[in-house]
A = this chain, B = another copy of it.
């Protein structure tokens, strides 16, 4: 973060720079996708393939990146996605990430497989005031547990720690076919673990128990009854599922394919987003993630109906490269790119962005 010529000037270079900082196993875990990684590749490619319309001579004075994400007024729409086991990237793990999020006014969704306790993460966010003195939202991501008591315990810890929403991830009832992890023989090193989960709760090695325990639409009622927090579903791609989520009284959706880590050759999120947006007709707020690497990608996501975006892998790349400062710089860079993209598209307020921005 000195005045020197920077080590990386965009998120691709950041990914490259992270390479040497990660063990082969951690790199396989963080970077890999399912199967032949078609979806992993399609996610960024499909954002880039969309064409923006530059607009000229529009009034730009007073332009800003402020917007709403669900009920939260935020300084900009760039959030951090839940990414497990961040101590694999940096000893401070999710605490460092949270400090960066707070400093850059970025909302953060903490993984239920966090390697640091939610209470510590929440504290870290609170101690770092953003320039305006606001504290960015912290949400808690939930994987449905075979044991309801355990699920309930997670919810209550998240509520107590001050998380302002729950994110139920629904696109990973089973582990994706992640060949690079299998090839690397990935396993967690000593000292890194999912601190919210009991020691024994490792992923089952056969499918049947997982399938039996997988949550269904029906289970959402129980969840709704056991928390006062808004509930978002993460991993919805099919418009019909989006409609069901609305009926089920959910508070928001994260259009996601888990960063291409679960079902290979599934649709990209850039492709699915406008279809989901059409299905929910603005009655359910949407976030989207998967392959967002440029400010132009953020603007396109908003133009297609998302209120904001989540950033996955670049988060851990930045953490590996520079700890909290690295993550902060990554968020700032994206936000600056977004502001430039808005100006060149004649867009002074994201809340007016729509499909007319796209050619």
Contact = CB atoms under 8 A, between A and B. Distances in A.
Interface of A: 5-6, 9-10, 12-13, 35-36, 38, 48-63, 170-171, 173-177, 179, 182-185, 207, 210-212, 214-220, 233, 235-238, 240-241, 244, 257, 262-267, 271, 294-296, 336-337, 339-341, 343-345, 348, 359
Contacts of A341: 263
A266 B6 contact: no
B212 A35 contact: no
A66 to B, nearest CB: 14
Nearest to A244: B57
Nearest to A180: B9
Contacts of A240: 55
6 closest Cβ contacts across the A-B interface?
Answer: A56-B170, A263-B344, A5-B185, A60-B211, A9-B182, A57-B217
A171 B56 contact: yes
Contacts of A207: 63, 336, 339-340, 343
A53 B238 contact: yes
B170 A57 contact: yes
Nearest to A296: B265
A184 B9 CA distance: 10
A10 B61 CA distance: 45
- Copies held by the complex: 4
A54 B214 contact: no
A340 B174 contact: yes
A23 to B, nearest CB: 15
A241 B56 contact: yes
A267 B53 contact: yes
Contact of A344 (B48, B173, B182): B173
Contact of A211 (B61, B182, B294): B61
A35 B296 contact: yes
Given A9-B182, A53-B267, A174-B340, 4 more contacts: A5-B184, A52-B267, A56-B233, A263-B296
Contacts of A296: 35, 263-265
Nearest to A56: B170
A57 B218 CA distance: 8
A179 B9 contact: yes
A294 B210 CA distance: 21
5 contacts: A9-B179, A13-B183, A53-B267, A60-B216, A176-B344
